[in-house]
Amino acid sequence: MVMDYIDQLISQLYLVKQPQQAPERFIRAFKGLSPRLQGNAVPWHLTMPEKLYNEIAKDQERFHTELSSLDLSYLQDVYIPTQKVFDYLQPAKINVERYQQYSQLDQTGHIQSFKPNQDGYANVVEYDRVSNITGRFKTVSGPMLLHLPKIYRSVLESRWKDNGTVVSLDYKSLEPRVLLATSGTQPKEEIEKDIYESVRTSLFQDNPEVNRDVVKKIVLSELYGAGIETLRQRLPNIRDLESTVGQISDWFGLEAMRTKLYEQWKETGNRYIANFYGRRVKTETSHTLVNHYVQSTAMDVAMLGFLNILQYVEELDKQEYIIPIFILHDALILDIHENSFSLINGLCKLGSVDIKKLETTTFYMSTDKGFSTL
């Protein structure tokens, strides 16, 4: 009559309506029956009226019948394994002087979450990855780097002072690359590290009007569901905008993707779609289908890549010198000792390749060694 953790997690990831729970007053009552009784061993029928008991029992039976029919491969193969990424996270070192200075300046109040202890370290950050419909993280406790203005990032310093650096390993254009990788229409030519330049050279090499910046604006507008009129305002100088958008859409296989997702969405009664790995994503409007699919899949790709990196660090026995401290959207933030700087490019490569079920795609990562510098 009380949901266990796994059932609750499955309910959230697969959008299965949670069953009724025993009201709190009856939960308190069963504790008086015997301190040793747990879960299904509780004689719930002795603690509540028969009508209420039967109603809750029927709803819970419905819930477990629905759960038993689910394909749980996403939970087992992607979600649970990548939870280990959070286990690797360690506290960040804080520059106490800057913390005190920024505390007087930051009107958002987020700097307060970086308050150092007597050893100069913040609390370990904790994230929630189920509250947001697409799996984007929410900070539950600890430093709120996700919301901290960039100008205050220098509050972070290496635990080795001048012998270390806070480094960001960041995926480049992850969402457009995920779209391309999962649409089934990968172009034959090699995709460059700069995907927008790949589109430009592939489609518009003889058209100087459509430069890289134009391509990027169109791709992002398509990903985030902006209409043609909105795009026309952003790109007033592109003469044949609809044709240009159509060519880019075809290159990414967008129409086929939209059709597939729309059909899936209608089959669920306009409730949800599933991302590439099978996580269900609640979606209320048709123009957000592609965005929700890509953003949710991209979060799983990033977590799989981060896991590749951190497991390799563990295999090398370098956990003392390469320390993960945050995840910031599509970036892994590390505190690295100078004796391990030579490994950074290799770590980026490990995060870029051999992503589960997308092994033929390279998800390029870049390095920012000035992540926390003034």
The pLDDT of 7-30, averaged and rounded, is 82
The pLDDT of 102-124, averaged and rounded, is 94
Residue 192 reports pLDDT greater than 80: no
Cα 191 to chain centroid, rounded:
24
Residue 190 reports pLDDT greater than 80: no
3-state SS track over the chain: CCCCHHHHHHHHHHCCCCCCCCCHHHHHHHHHHCCCCCHHHCCHHHCCCHHHHHHHHHHHHHHHHHHHCCCCHHHHHHHHHHCHHHHHCCCCEECHHHHHHHHHHCCCCHHHHHCCCCCCECCCCEEECCCCCCCCCEEEECCCCCCCCHHHHHHEECCCHHHEEEEEEEECCHHHHHHHHHCCCCCCCCCCCCHHHHHHHHHCCCCCCCCHHHHHHHHHHHHCCCCHHHHHHHCCCCCCHHHHHHHHHHHHCHHHHHHHHHHHHHHCCCCEEECCCCCEEECCCHHHHHHHHHHHHHHHHHHHHHHHHHHHHHHCCCCCCEEEEEEECCEEEEEEEHHHHHHHHHHHHHHHCCCCCCCCCCCCEEEECCCCCC
* Domain ranges within the chain, ordered by starting residue: 5-70, 85-169+329-368, 176-295
pLDDT in the model for residue 271: 95
> Residue 50 — very low, low, confident or very high, per pLDDT cuts 50/70/90?
confident
> Residue 228 — very low, low, confident or very high, per pLDDT cuts 50/70/90?
confident
Count Cβ atoms below 10 Å from residue 354 Cβ, excluding itself.
13
- Do residues 172 and 191 make contact, with C-beta atoms less than 8 angstroms apart? no
> Residue 118 — very low, low, confident or very high, per pLDDT cuts 50/70/90?
very high
pLDDT in the model for residue 188: 47
Residue 53 reports pLDDT greater than 50: yes
Least confident of 69-73, 186-190, 211-215: 186-190
145, two tokens: 């780097």
> Residue 81 — very low, low, confident or very high, per pLDDT cuts 50/70/90?
very high
Maximum distance among all Cα pairs of the chain, rounded to whole angstroms? 80
Residue 187 reports pLDDT greater than 60: no
> Residue 20 — very low, low, confident or very high, per pLDDT cuts 50/70/90?
confident
Average pLDDT, the chain: 91
pLDDT in the model for residue 239: 87
Alpha carbon distance, N-terminus to C-terminus of the chain = 54
Structure-model confidence comparison of residues 316 and 21, the more confident one: 316
Residue 219 reports pLDDT greater than 70: yes
> Residue 317 — very low, low, confident or very high, per pLDDT cuts 50/70/90?
very high
Distance from C-alpha of 191 to C-alpha of 1, rounded to nearest angstrom: 53
Q: Which of 53, 48, 59 has its CA nearest to residue 11?
A: 59
Distance from C-alpha of 356 to C-alpha of 79, rounded to nearest angstrom: 12
Distance from C-alpha of 174 to C-alpha of 185, rounded to nearest angstrom: 17
179, two tokens: 């779209």
- Do residues 121 and 91 make contact, with C-beta atoms less than 8 angstroms apart? yes
Distance from C-alpha of 179 to C-alpha of 364, rounded to nearest angstrom: 14
- Cα-based angle 254, 181, 310 (whole degrees, multiple of 5): 140
Cα 40 to chain centroid, rounded:
35
The pLDDT of 145-164, averaged and rounded, is 95
pLDDT in the model for residue 286: 92
Q: Which of 353, 366, 277 has its CA nearest to residue 309?
A: 353
> Residue 276 — very low, low, confident or very high, per pLDDT cuts 50/70/90?
very high
Hey, what amino acid is at 307?
L
Cα 238 to chain centroid, rounded:
34
Structure-model confidence comparison of residues 29 and 14, the more confident one: 14
